[in-house]
């Protein structure tokens, strides 16, 4: 039994290190009873419940900070809608917004809200298609996303409806 718990203990700690960050400033002031609880749990002296209560204490007192995993998932988002009627040359159905302004690192999502196929093809300054951000044909409801890391002005159009030109300005 004691042997089994000694095997389990390092596994528990390795999971904590992956998912949480440890606040080393606070770790200087970890109370002796916390250290002893960990030691005694490893030796099978205290119960699993007491060990879990101790971890709860560490989280509540910001010794273990639950943020690193969530922070990595946070991304800056913006979206551009391809509105219904976008394909009609006489309609006012331009991209919404027509010129999106974002900060670098933003992930832009185009959403096709029109009833016909569209695509997103990036253009150079002369209006030629370049291999930069280029979507496959998007059905109604389909999305395409691209993350802009470099400042600049990026034009794009739809190759099916080449009169539909939009831009993204990255600051
Ligand atoms: Cu189109």
Compute, in angstroms, the gap from residue 149 CA to the centroid of ligand 1. Answer: 26
Compute, in angstroms, the gap from residue 72 CA to the centroid of ligand 1. Answer: 34
pLDDT attached to residue 138: 98
pLDDT attached to residue 93: 74
pLDDT attached to residue 169: 97
Tokens, residue 154: 């990026």
Question: Each residue of 87-118: b (16+ CB within 10 Å) or e?
Answer: beeeeebbbeeeebebeeebebebbbebebbb
Q: Residue ranges of the domains in the chain? A: 2-70, 75-170
Nearest CA-CA partner of 95 in 17, 161, 6, 15: 161
CATH architecture, domain 75-170: Sandwich (2.60)
pLDDT attached to residue 13: 43
CA separation for the pair 146, 122 (Å, rounded) = 11
- For ligand 1, a single-atom ion, the residues with CB < 5 A are 118, 158, 160-161
**Could you tell me how many residues make up the chain?**
171
pTM for this predicted structure = 0.58
pLDDT attached to residue 58: 85
Compute, in angstroms, the gap from residue 88 CA to the centroid of ligand 1. Answer: 9
Compute, in angstroms, the gap from residue 56 CA to the centroid of ligand 1. Answer: 54
The number of helices, as runs of H, and strands, as runs of E, in the chain is 5, 10
Ranges of the chain with pLDDT below 70? 1-29, 67-74
């Amino acid at each position: 039994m004691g042997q089994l718990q000694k095997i389990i203990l390092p596994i528990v700690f390795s999971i904590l290190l992956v998912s949480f960050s440890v606040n080393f400033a606070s770790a200087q002031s970890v109370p002796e009873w916390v250290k002893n609880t960990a030691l005694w749990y490893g030796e099978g002296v205290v119960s699993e419940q007491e060990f879990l209560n101790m971890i709860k204490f560490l989280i509540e007192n910001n010794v273990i900070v639950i943020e690193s995993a969530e922070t990595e998932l946070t991304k800056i988002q913006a979206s551009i809608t391809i509105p219904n009627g976008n394909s009609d040359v006489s309609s006012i159905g331009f991209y919404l917004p027509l010129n999106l302004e974002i900060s670098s690192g933003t992930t832009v999502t185009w959403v096709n809200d029109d009833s016909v196929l569209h695509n997103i093809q990036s253009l150079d300054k002369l209006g030629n298609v370049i291999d930069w951000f280029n979507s496959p044909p998007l059905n109604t409801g389909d999305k395409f996303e691209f993350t802009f890391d470099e400042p600049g002005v990026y034009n794009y159009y739809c190759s099916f409806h080449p009169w539909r030109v939009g831009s993204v300005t990255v600051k």
